[in-house]
Copies of this chain bind each other. A is one copy, B any other.
């Protein structure tokens, strides 16, 4: 068997040959042979020893225990909120029939992961949770449900992992399906975003709202031809990353609008406000003539009146520049934006040193047509929902945890069963089992005769607050020495009282 150094040498040598041949403009055939030789060397040649690339797939990552502890904390906050609002949960398979996803994502369809055709059905990994949800509703003929779904989705996008953009990532979706009175479920979705971002304690945020009908009405009265609504909508969507001047250039130069039309759009999309803006636009001589815009604006007014009752208007802005990418929205749309991510690295720099903006952390809207695309009879089920952009939130929380002095615990162990003397393994295991049976979270070192110091160190490292120490004397006296790791205080506790004492101390 070739050893590793030999193999690496072989790879390097063949790599050099490839480069050399290329630089000499060698015949294609020669390069090909050299490449194959390099590949063979990488594969370990005839020696059979395989040189592994020890990594996860591009754009994906493992979660280590610390990251999992943070993830669990974030999920608990989000799930508690969803449950507080009476939501059920469902789950769907990670892959769908390829045709289920076909025609739902427009240009982004190229980012869908397909499975290899190994005989049988053609399958693709889910791209989001909304399309599987719509498929689920149509398939089971469900006409109303309030559900959340937390699961991973897959996109063959360019990963930007430091900014929380992955090829495998979580979505946390909450949706309300059903025919209800206008804007009540829509208002609840916004209330949920508000509650979650508040509880996650990620700093200041605001939620932009708009309505696809207002956008379409606005495009119409500005003179955009009907067939250009969607593409102009996509251009407007770039206003959160581009200056108006550049957006205008794209409208005129790439999308073929006249300057006049673009300028008229420019006036509208600079408008921000609340209920008052909706009222004002209902009086706008042009917009008020457009049926779509009027319907959207009337609903916007109603939405704000409900948001007032929900006490969330301090963070909600009616913003005419909000467009959102997805095609399937039919009514209200919204997006939550964090003002900053984490406090500036050194807090003494003063409040003016803002962190880096991460942008949108939640978004959603109304999509009344999607379920109908799956129903054999085209029956529509009106839906409104929100998706929490959890990966960005994880990134922020992880950065926060790193700068914070507080240690993240990755286990919940309450007590370590230890001993200072030799030959007490059996006694340690017996006590450990007693405590497990009583529901206490216990660890014991897997050593016959561990040193007391290494047992205490394990507690320090993993944050276990208590040690139950057994010795010959304690066994004779029917007690256990309970030690507080932080304060180093020790007290003898009668064995019969140990469970209660541990519970009391680790509430």
List the interface of chain A (C-beta within 8 A of B): 4, 50-58, 60-65, 68-69, 71-72, 83-97, 99-100, 103, 113-118, 120-121, 123, 125, 135-136, 138-140, 145, 147, 152, 154, 156, 168, 176, 178, 180-181, 184-185, 187-188, 191, 195, 305-306, 309-311, 374, 376-377, 410-413, 425-426, 429-430, 433, 436-437, 439-443, 446-448
Contact = CB atoms under 8 A, between A and B. Distances in A.
A86 B54 contact: no
B116 A115 contact: yes
Contacts of A135: 54
Given A62-B93, A84-B442, A412-B83, A310 B68 contact: no
Contacts of A147: 65
B95 A57 contact: yes
A20 to B, nearest CB: 27
A441 B84 contact: yes
A220 to B, nearest CB: 25
Closest 5 pairs (CB-CB, A-B): A180-B446, A65-B88, A60-B93, A86-B443, A63-B91
A15 B125 CA distance: 31
A83 B72 CA distance: 13
22 contacts: A4-B376, A53-B97, A56-B92, A56-B97, A57-B95, A58-B121, A60-B95, A64-B90, A65-B90, A65-B145, A68-B88, A69-B88, A85-B442, A88-B410, A88-B411, A94-B94, A115-B125, A176-B446, A180-B447, A181-B447, A309-B429, A311-B437
Contact of A121 (B57, B145, B412, B441): B57
Contacts of A72: 89
A116 B430 CA distance: 53
A376 B50 CA distance: 9
A99 B168 contact: no
B89 A306 contact: no
Contacts of A85: 436, 441-443
A412 B85 CA distance: 9
A219 B168 CA distance: 46
A97 B57 contact: yes
A184 to B, nearest CB: 4
A202 to B, nearest CB: 19
Contacts of A442: 84-86
A114 B152 CA distance: 18
B195 A436 contact: yes
Given A85-B443, A118-B113, A147-B65, A99 B52 contact: yes
Nearest to A68: B89
A9 B83 CA distance: 47
Contacts of A97: 53, 55-57
Contact of A374 (B54, B138, B180): B54
Contact of A86 (B118, B187, B411, B447): B411
Contact of A54 (B62, B168, B181, B376): B376
